[in-house]
């Protein structure tokens, strides 16, 4: 019984952390990026706190996600336009198999860094409600805002990239 209560309490704390990010953003706050390290498809693991000093567009996606197919070229365009100015686009493949995810990356010619969240635990920690979902992180490691779904307007992505470079919350 004590073990069961301990597991329930741990689950509630984890759930509260995920809600904390979404709720903080809803209140206009800017929570700190969680201390997470994710395996990369190519190269060494990526530490989210290790990206401090760079604004980050953190996009949760999956190869099976139809709207992600429409967003992928737009994210690639943002990466190509803004990475020379220090912006990092980081794709987080979530709840997906490695082989289809790698095929997705190749199909859309994605050259921005991509990492794996095979079990969806990182997406849940961020409070993501599905894919695609994108979080915008300031250079000092604060989550400025999010797009809670698909964005297919190139101008919206360009404005969002500029906002995060300026340290402002983007608006979808």
Sign of CA dihedral 117, 91, 127, 95: negative
Look at the pTM and tell me if it is higher than 0.85. yes
CB contact at 8 A, 120 and 38: no
User: In whole numbers, what is the pLDDT of the chain averaged over residues?
Assistant: 89
DSSP state of 34: P
pLDDT confidence tier of residue 172, bands split at 50, 70 and 90: confident
What are the tens digits of pLDDT across the range 29-81? 999 999 999 999 988 999 999 999 999 999 999 999 999 999 999 999 999 99
pLDDT confidence tier of residue 95, bands split at 50, 70 and 90: very high
**Would you state the pLDDT for residue 160?**
97
**Would you state the pLDDT for residue 19?**
60
CB contact at 8 A, 141 and 52: yes
Domain over 2-165 is classified CATH 3.30.390.10:
no
What are the tens digits of pLDDT across the range 96-124? 999 999 999 999 999 999 999 999 999 99
pLDDT confidence tier of residue 12, bands split at 50, 70 and 90: very low
d(CA 127, CA 121): 10
CB contact at 8 A, 135 and 26: no
Burial 110-144 (b: 16+ CB within 10 A, else e): bebbbbbbeebebbbbbbbeebbbbbbbbbebbbb
d(CA 57, CA 12): 28
């Amino acid at each position: 019984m004590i073990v069961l209560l301990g597991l329930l309490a741990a689950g509630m704390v984890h759930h509260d952390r995920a809600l904390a990010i979404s709720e903080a953003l809803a209140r206009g706050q800017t929570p700190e990026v969680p201390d997470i390290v994710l395996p990369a498809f190519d190269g060494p693991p990526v530490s989210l706190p290790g990206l401090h000093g760079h604004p980050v567009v953190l996009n949760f996606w999956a190869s099976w996600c139809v709207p992600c197919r429409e967003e992928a070229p737009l994210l690639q365009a943002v990466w190509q336009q803004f990475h020379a100015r220090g912006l990092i686009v980081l794709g987080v493949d979530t709840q997906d198999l490695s082989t289809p995810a790698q095929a997705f990356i190749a199909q859309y010619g994605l050259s921005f860094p991509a990492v794996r969240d095979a079990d969806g635990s990182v997406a849940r920690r961020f409070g993501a409600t599905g894919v695609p979902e994108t979080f915008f992180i300031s250079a000092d490691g604060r989550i400025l805002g999010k797009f809670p779904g698909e964005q297919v307007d190139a101008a919206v992505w360009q404005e969002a990239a500029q906002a995060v470079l300026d340290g402002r919350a983007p608006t979808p």
